[in-house]
Amino acid sequence: MLIKDWMTRDPVTINDDTSMIRAIHIMNEHGFRRLPVMSAGRLVGMITDRDLKEASPSKATTLDVHEMYYLLAELQVKEIMSRDLFTVSQDDTVEGAAQIMLEHTISGLPVVDAGGSLVGVITQSDILRALLHISGSLQGGVQFALRAEDRPGVLKEVADLMRARGGRLLSLLSYYRSPEENLREVYVRVKNLSPEAVAALQAELAARFEILYVTRER
């Protein structure tokens, strides 16, 4: 899956001289958790809701309302934004973006072209949306999870059993549980199966593989 197929294009941005109170207003208005920060048309940073919260006066402050408003209006985002950014290309994979977010505990990444110009943003929500589509869960059906010996033809064997019962494959995902154990876990989502066909298929799969679970989604 490529980032360009799942990212948000033409994201809302702010300039580096935008006031902190304006940035807060934009985030609240649109429900954003982050905003790319631009200067002279170039990406120079990222401001997040966490940055704004950390820079805001504490509830225990002795400042009165007018003083706090003045402080928020005078402070510019360039004074608190993150400048050392992780960026991705629209031709990078969604999986790669997810790995960067996980490793660095960030919830969104700016997407730039070869010249460094901002072309989009990809967030955790975009990645979750991609996961829902690729797993087929939005179409419901039944998911069979099983553990199988890692050998040539095992995935075809599973798929053929599903089709033989009249099932329509929505997705087939697999990964190595442990190379040392020579096992792989397989997750197959299928639709158009009657309850009787599901039970029969489960019995057939159990005779050949270890069934982890079978679940039906609406």
Contact partners, residue 99, CB within 8 Å, separation at least 6? none
In this prediction the pTM is: 0.80
* 200 residue type, one letter: A
Give the pLDDT band of residue 70 (cuts 50, 70, 90). Answer: low
Percent of the residues in the chain that have a pLDDT greater than 90, as a whole number: 61
Give the pairing type, strands 118-123 and 8-9: antiparallel
Domain positions in the chain are: 3-131, 136-217
Give CA–CA dist 212/207, Å, rounded.
13
172 pLDDT more than 70: yes
CB atoms within 10 A of CB 38: 16
CB atoms within 10 A of CB 115: 7
State the pLDDT at residue 49. 85
Instruction: Confirm if 142 and 189 have CB atoms less than 8 A apart.
Output: yes
Instruction: Confirm if 107 and 187 have CB atoms less than 8 A apart.
Output: no
Query: Which pair of tokens denotes residue 2?
Result: 């490529």
Percent of the residues in the chain that have a pLDDT greater than 70, as a whole number: 89
* 209 residue type, one letter: F
- As a whole number, the mean pLDDT across the chain is 88
Packing angle, helices 154-164 and 195-208, rounded to 10: 150
Q: What is the mean pLDDT of residues 76-102?
A: 93
Q: Which fold has domain 136-217?
A: Alpha-Beta Plaits (3.30.70)
Partner residues linked to 128 by β-bridges? none
Q: What is the mean pLDDT of residues 109-115?
A: 94
Q: Which CATH number among 1.10.3720.10, 3.40.640.10, 3.10.580.10, 3.40.630.10 corresponds to the domain 3-131? A: 3.10.580.10
